[in-house]
């Protein structure tokens, strides 16, 4: 999550609130950058916003009324302190939501001038900005040189604050205003959490620069929109907005459509909290099958899909858990509700299948008679290179099924996970639900990327089965 505030009477509290409200988008680390006495100050750390602010930021006295905040969910680089954002390069600090695919080329080019201290693509964008005469020129160069996706929150030592949404509009970005204070965040619901309700979405390619001279908004780039369909399906808060529709309503539509396509004789509907809740409500509305909270959620485990398995350099090895172990710790079954029941489990997606395997196992152990999965997302068959952490095709369970009909993929995944059945929405169903005007990215489903894939060992390995 990226965010920021301009002309705040309490910058520390405003950045803290934005960080907490956007915590669902990134739980590994967080940081802030504030304009402070003619320069800027960056503070951050590994862990949740509440912990980092308490340990690193709480007692710091800021002479500031503007700043940025970043919650990290790593999709490139390892999960370590050197990759905490915002990054400082020269006169700029930068927070980045997205992924670049030509990172190796850019590291070779800018590594000759700058000492790169991280293993992420985000630091390179800060180098491009610092190597430019102005923010506008820097963003124009980012657009020309960087391939991928890149929503940005920028602050420099001149006190200029800027936000940019890439021309493909892959990930969301919103701004709001209350009196003379400007708020920016990846989702409008994050801004609403601060009591600010006058919000609007950034246009594709829109750069907003705010300084003591005023505000300037310009459009850089003219590209076909490629909104990430996974944003409203999984990432976004159910109270946020996608294409002017509340996310919870989109999810309920998915649930109703799943009920139409895959009816099953069941006793109860069980959502996998939290995103599965709205899908379950939609399925319930269509079938009148009772919805039961038969799984209690441990909110301290975090989102298991975003867990940095294999990349966590900060947690002692003896305390690191696999995703399946985290799934089981996160979801505790209630046997008195489950025992002897035929259960429909509502889930947003199946990526690697860790959640499904863990849930199936604990439900049967708790006495379930049958466990059927109904899944809002179509089968994910390809890596994402624009901001989601499913970057190796061989780890995606549906890619292992050679028969490509959606029914056959469902049967294959059920066999592999132990579920009685698995039913997916198809890509045409998803387009209907999202009111798609050929403006969404479904590359992780159909392999149609909006850029040429570099012919490097990394990408060949990522696409290999």
Question: pLDDT by residue for the chain (465 residues), tens digit each?
Answer: 999 999 999 999 999 999 999 999 998 999 999 988 778 999 999 899 999 999 999 999 888 999 999 998 866 555 567 788 999 999 999 999 999 999 999 999 999 899 888 888 999 999 999 999 999 999 999 999 999 999 999 999 999 999 999 999 999 999 999 999 999 999 999 999 999 999 999 999 999 999 999 999 999 999 999 999 999 999 999 999 999 999 999 999 999 999 999 999 999 999 998 889 999 999 999 999 999 999 988 766 654 544 555 555 555 554 456 666 777 788 899 999 999 999 999 999 999 998 899 999 999 999 999 999 999 999 999 999 998 877 789 999 999 887 779 999 999 999 999 999 999 999 999 999 999 999 999 999 999 999 999 999 999 999 998
Residues forming a β-bridge with 97: 151
pLDDT given for residue 284 in this prediction: 98
Backbone CA torsion sign across 338, 341, 344, 350: positive
CB proximity list for 171: less than 8 A, separation 6 or greater: 97, 98, 149, 151, 165, 186, 228, 231, 387
SS3 214: strand
**C-alpha of 37 from chain center:** 34
Centre a 10 Å sphere on the Cβ of residue 58 and count the other Cβ atoms it contains.
Answer: 10
Token couple for 322: 């696999």
Burial 259-283 (b: 16+ CB within 10 A, else e): beebebebbbbbbbbebbbbbbbbb
Residues 26 and 210 sit within 8 Å (Cβ to Cβ): no
Query: What is the rounded distance in angstroms from the CA atom of residue 338 to the CA atom of residue 323?
Result: 23
Question: Of 252, 259, 309, which is closest to residue 287 (Cα–Cα)?
Answer: 259
Q: How far is CA 80 from CA 69, 87, 174, 339, in A?
A: 18, 13, 28, 43
Query: What is the rounded distance in angstroms from the CA atom of residue 173 to the CA atom of residue 183?
Result: 11
pLDDT given for residue 301 in this prediction: 63
pLDDT given for residue 380 in this prediction: 95
Residues 405 and 376 sit within 8 Å (Cβ to Cβ): no
Omega cis (within 30) before 246: no
Omega cis (within 30) before 133: no
Q: What angle do CA 9, 10, 12 make, to 5 degrees?
A: 150
CB proximity list for 228: less than 8 A, separation 6 or greater: 170, 171, 235, 386, 387, 388, 440, 441
pLDDT given for residue 313 in this prediction: 54
Which domains, from first to last, does the chain contain? 2-223 (3.60.20.10), 246-312+323-463 (3.40.50.2020)
Antiparallel, parallel or unpaired: β 342-347 and 245-246: unpaired
Token couple for 432: 């209907």
SS3 6: strand
Sheet bearing 206-211, strands edge to edge: 87-89, 92-100, 148-156, 161-164, 206-211, 214-219
The alpha helices in 168-305, defined as continuous H runs, are 188-192, 230, 247-261, 276-287
Query: What is the rounded distance in angstroms from the CA atom of residue 371 to the CA atom of residue 355?
Result: 13
Residues 36 and 63 sit within 8 Å (Cβ to Cβ): yes
Query: What is the rounded distance in angstroms from the CA atom of residue 279 to the CA atom of residue 459?
Result: 34
pLDDT given for residue 86 in this prediction: 94
Antiparallel, parallel or unpaired: β 245-246 and 241-242: antiparallel
pTM attached to this predicted model: 0.91
pLDDT given for residue 41 in this prediction: 93
Residues 20 and 194 sit within 8 Å (Cβ to Cβ): no
Backbone CA torsion sign across 175, 170, 386, 166: negative
pLDDT given for residue 65 in this prediction: 95
CB proximity list for 196: less than 8 A, separation 6 or greater: 176, 177, 178, 181, 183
Residues 361 and 419 sit within 8 Å (Cβ to Cβ): no
């Amino acid at each position: 999550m990226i965010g920021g505030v301009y002309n705040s009477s309490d910058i520390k509290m405003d950045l803290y609130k934005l960080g907490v409200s956007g915590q669902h988008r990134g739980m590994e680390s967080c940081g802030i950058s504030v304009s402070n006495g003619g320069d800027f100050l960056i503070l951050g750390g590994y862990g949740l916003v509440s912990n980092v602010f308490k340990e690193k930021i709480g007692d710091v006295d800021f002479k500031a009324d503007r700043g940025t905040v970043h919650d990290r969910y790593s999709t490139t680089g390892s999960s370590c302190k050197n990759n905490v954002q915002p990054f400082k390069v020269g006169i700029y600090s930068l927070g980045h939501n997205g992924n670049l695919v030509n990172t190796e080329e850019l590291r070779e080019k800018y590594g000759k001038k700058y000492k790169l201290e991280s293993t992420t693509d985000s630091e390179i964008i800060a180098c491009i900005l610092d190597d430019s005469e102005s923010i506008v020129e820097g963003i124009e160069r980012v657009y020309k040189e960087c391939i991928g996706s890149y929503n940005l929150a920028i602050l420099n030592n001149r006190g200029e604050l800027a936000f940019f949404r890439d021309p493909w509009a892959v990930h969301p970005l919103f701004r709001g205003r209350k009196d003379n204070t400007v708020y920016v965040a990846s989702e409008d619901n994050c801004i609403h959490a601060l009591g600010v309700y006058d919000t609007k979405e950034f246009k594709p390619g829109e750069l907003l620069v705010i300084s003591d001279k005023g505000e300037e908004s310009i459009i850089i780039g003219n590209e076909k929109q490629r909104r990430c369909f996974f944003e409203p399906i999984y990432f976004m808060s159910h109270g946020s907005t996608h294409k002017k529709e509340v996310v919870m309503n989109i999810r309920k539509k998915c649930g109703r459509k799943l009920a139409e396509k895959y009816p099953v004789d069941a006793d109860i509907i069980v959502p996998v909290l939290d995103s599965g809740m709205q899908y379950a409500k939609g399925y319930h509305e269509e079938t009148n099958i009772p919805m039961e909270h038969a799984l209690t959620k441990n909110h301290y485990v975090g989102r298991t899909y975003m867990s940095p398995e294999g990349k966590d350099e900060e947690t002692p090895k003896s305390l690191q858990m696999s995703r399946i172990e985290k799934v089981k710790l996160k979801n505790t079954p209630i046997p008195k509700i489950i025992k002897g029941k035929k259960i429909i489990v509502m889930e947003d997606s199946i990526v690697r299948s860790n959640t499904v395997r863990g849930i199936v196992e604990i439900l049967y152990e708790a006495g379930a008679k049958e466990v059927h999965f109904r899944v809002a997302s179509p089968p994910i068959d390809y890596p994402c290179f624009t901001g989601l952490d499913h970057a190796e095709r061989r780890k995606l369970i549906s890619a292992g099924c050679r028969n490509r009909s959606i029914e056959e993929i469902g049967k294959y995944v059920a066999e592999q996970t132990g579920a009685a059945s698995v039913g997916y929405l198809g890509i045409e169903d998803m387009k209907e639900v999202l009111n798609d005007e050929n403006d969404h990215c479904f590359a992780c489903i159909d392999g149609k990327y909006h850029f040429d894939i570099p012919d490097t060992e990394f990408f060949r390995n990522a696409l290999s089965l």
